[in-house]
Amino acid sequence: GTNENFCNLNFKSASIRRAPDNKAPFTDLTGGAADVMITDSIEALHRQNTTPALCALHTQPPLTPGHTVVISTQLDFITSFNEFLNTPEAEAALEKLTVKWLGE
């Protein structure tokens, strides 16, 4: 689906695991079998609120029109990712994506 397409387009060097169901990614994250997952913002924010070990990265504007976000137990990863999003390179890339996908 949308999340898999996003991963295939954006994570060229990552080892991508496809979950057998919608519960497995959260077990993998909290159990240390996965570092991050890509999902929609509503699910990520809900899981962050119901599972204290998880941290959701909710970008504004969203990474895709479907509001894809990153969720992880790795606070240092989230911190680094947030710092990257504030760089000129990230701003330029996000601007290109916004224009391409949202027409703004």
pLDDT tens per residue, range 61-91? 656 655 556 777 888 887 887 788 778 888 8
Quick one: pLDDT at residue 101? 61
Quick one: pLDDT at residue 52? 86
pLDDT tens per residue, range 2-52? 778 888 888 888 888 888 888 898 899 999 999 888 887 767 777 887 888
Residues 6+ apart with CB under 8 A from 45: 56, 58, 69
